[in-house]
Structure 1
């Protein structure tokens, strides 16, 4: 039995906001609720509603810039930078810039709509 898994075909999460989400490991891909790892591409002008997730989220910027509003504080990360946002922290993610933002997101436990707690 192999003690590793190579992911050749991540789950493409359907979106309506132009963002590309390719989950390599997590609930949608292999049922793993412990962790999710996704490759994201956020187009210029993209944003999500504020949310207070019940998971820690790590973000590593591969290309471009991404804006985070974390409990009222604005943080902007660029290529090569990373951040950990602890669970139960109110946050908004966006790309108000003119270039595409490409990044890796890791959630522990795994991302789920039941745990993200997005504002209406």
Structure 2
């Protein structure tokens, strides 16, 4: 291992019960980094999360499929090759109501933290 770089070969796989695959490559769960988190996600068809108002910025880059965002009442759909930044303290719901898996990268600054995502019940 070099002092000049870190290669992540064993990301932390976040346990889920909704069929979504989350592999955090860098962030609080993997290397304790609170400044940024980078995760590779795969959301199955029909997946959705509750609304949330995170205390961090979240960038999403769609690799394949489509992903839907409800942002303060506005519906936004991203296709493969597109990206979006959701500013912190914005009410948002993430989902994949489509018939194919959505693969994407999620980058959060500061790093994703379950205590600051503020998911609604």
Instruction: Specify the alignment match of 1:107 in structure 2.
Output: 108
Superposed, 1:55-70 pairs within 5 Å as: 55-70=56-71
Deviations along 1:30-60, one digit per CA (max 9) or x if unpaired, are 1101000000000000000000000000000
Q: Give the distance between the partners of 1:30 and 1:16, measured in 2 at CA.
A: 24
Q: Give the distance between the partners of 2:84 and 2:26, measured in 1 at CA.
A: 20
The structure carrying a bigger helix percent of its residues is: 1
Q: Give the distance between the partners of 2:35 and 2:116, measured in 1 at CA.
A: 13
Instruction: Specify the alignment match of 1:29 in structure 2.
Output: 30
TM-score normalised by the chain length of structure 2:
0.98
> What displacement does 1:2 show?
1.4
Give the length in aligned residue pairs. 120
What is the root-mean-square deviation of aligned Cα atoms in Å? 0.6
- Where 2:30 maps in the other structure, the secondary structure is helix
- Where 2:115 maps in the other structure, the secondary structure is helix
- Where 2:39 maps in the other structure, the secondary structure is strand
| Structure 1 unaligned blocks of 5 or more | none
Residue 90 of structure 1 pairs with residue 91 of structure 2: yes
Instruction: Specify the alignment match of 1:46 in structure 2.
Output: 47
| Structure 2 unaligned blocks of 5 or more | none
